[in-house]
Structure 1
C-alpha cells in the first residue's frame, strides 16, 4: 500500500528481497478444506518451496502452514495469500476470514496435539518482533504449562529459548493430521449450523 505522505516505511521489503510467505502462496494451489489432499498427495509436496513448507490450509484468500522453527509441537502460521505487511494492510474480507479461521484452526490444533492451552500472536513491524514482512498469526500450543501443573509459574514467552528446525518427516505427518482435523472441525461446524 502506498504511503500518502511519501515517507519511508522500513517494514516494506524492497522488490529485490522476495517475501517467503508470498513464495509459499504462489507455490501451493488452493484446495477445498472439507476435502483436503492426503499425506501422499503431491499437490502439497513440502519440497516444492524452499525451505520445505508444510501446508495445512490453502484457500483462495488464506494460507496456513507449520512454522519451520516452532516454539512448540504444532506451531502454525496463518496469513493472507495477498502480500500485506501489517494487519492494517489487509482488507475487511481478508480480516473476517482470518478471524474465522483462527478459531477453526485453534480447534483443529487442540484435536491434533491434545494441548488445550495455546497462544495466538500477531506482530506488526520490526519493533514489535515481526520477522517476516507479511502479516501473519502464530498459533502456539503451550504443553509445558499443562504438563508442569504449575499454572501460576511464569514461563518462557515467545521467541525466548531454544527453537529447533522442524523435522521433515514429522512436519509432513503433522500437516496431514492437521488437514484431516480441520476437515473434521468444518464438518462439526456444518452439522451444528444445520441443527
Structure 2
C-alpha cells in the first residue's frame, strides 16, 4: 500500500494547552475535521463520510488478534492515505500508529463505529476499549522496550480534540537519555515529524506480534482460572 503525504494545508486546529496531547496531524490533511461534527446523541450514523477514522475502519475488516492475516495488512481496494499502520482490528475496535508520533510506538485506539466523544461510546465498546487499552499498553512496552507511558483521551475542541471520532492515545514515555534521540517531545512541545514508512511497518509488525502473545497469555490464564474453579 503506497504512502501519500498530502501537500494541502492542514485545517486549522483549536489551540490546546501544552499539557494536553493535541490530535492534529493524525489524519489526512485533505479531510477537514470541521466536517466530522456529530451531535452528542445515540442517533449518529455508524460512519461519517468525511471522518478519517471511519475511513480506516471501513477499509480494514476485523481479524482475530491471535492470528493476523498473512500477508499483512489485508489487501483492499480503497487504502487510506496517508498509509495506515494497523495494529488491531476487531468487530468493535481498531488501533493504528499515529502518523506523526510523539515517541516510538505512539498509537491510537478507537471504536470502529463513529462516536464523537467518550459519552457517545456504547457499553460493549467501552468494555472492549478498557480491555485493549491494557493489552496494547503491554504490547507497546514489549515492542519498544520503553517501560513508562501515557494514556490520553480528549473530548471536544476546547480539550484539544481535532478528529471528532473518539480515540485514546497510548504514548510511550522514554527516559531522558532515550528522549535525546527523538526530535519530538511529549505533550505537543517540540517538533513532530512524519512516521517513516519502513520504520512504521517494522514497528507495527512487532506490536501486532506482541498483541498476539499478550492475548494468548490472557486466554491461557483464563483457562487455568476456569479449571481451578471447577476443582
Q: Same fold (TM over 0.5)?
A: yes
SS of 1:158's equivalent?
Answer: helix
Q: 203, 206, 218: which one pairs with 1:177?
A: 206
- Structure 2 portions without partners, runs of 5+: 1-33, 39-46, 180-184, 225-231
**Which position in structure 1 is the counterpart of 2:74?**
43
Q: How far apart, in 2, do the equivalents of 1:164 and 1:20 lie?
A: 19
- Structure 1: distance between partners of 2:73 and 2:104: 24
SS at structure 2 position matched to 1:48: coil
**Paired residue for 1:111?**
142
Match of 1:135 in 2: 166
Normalising by the residue count of structure 2, what TM-score does the alignment of the two structures yield? 0.71
Decide whether aligned partners of structure 1 residues 44 and 168 sit closer, same or farther in structure 2, where only a CA change above 3 A counts. farther
Task: Assess if the C-alpha contact under 8 Å between 1:83 and 1:134 holds in 2.
Answer: yes
Correspondence for 2:64? 32
Q: Is the 8 A contact 1:11 1:126 kept in 2?
A: no
| TM-score normalised per structure 1 | 0.83
Paired residue total? 177
Matches within 5 A, 1:21-170: 21-38=53-70, 40-43=71-74, 48-145=79-176, 147=178, 157-170=186-199
Please, what is the CA RMSD of the aligned residues?
Answer: 2.3
2 CA distance for matches of 1:16 and 1:82? Answer: 9
Kindly indicate whether the alpha-carbon contact (under 8 Å) linking 1:117 and 1:146 is maintained by their aligned counterparts in 2. Answer: no
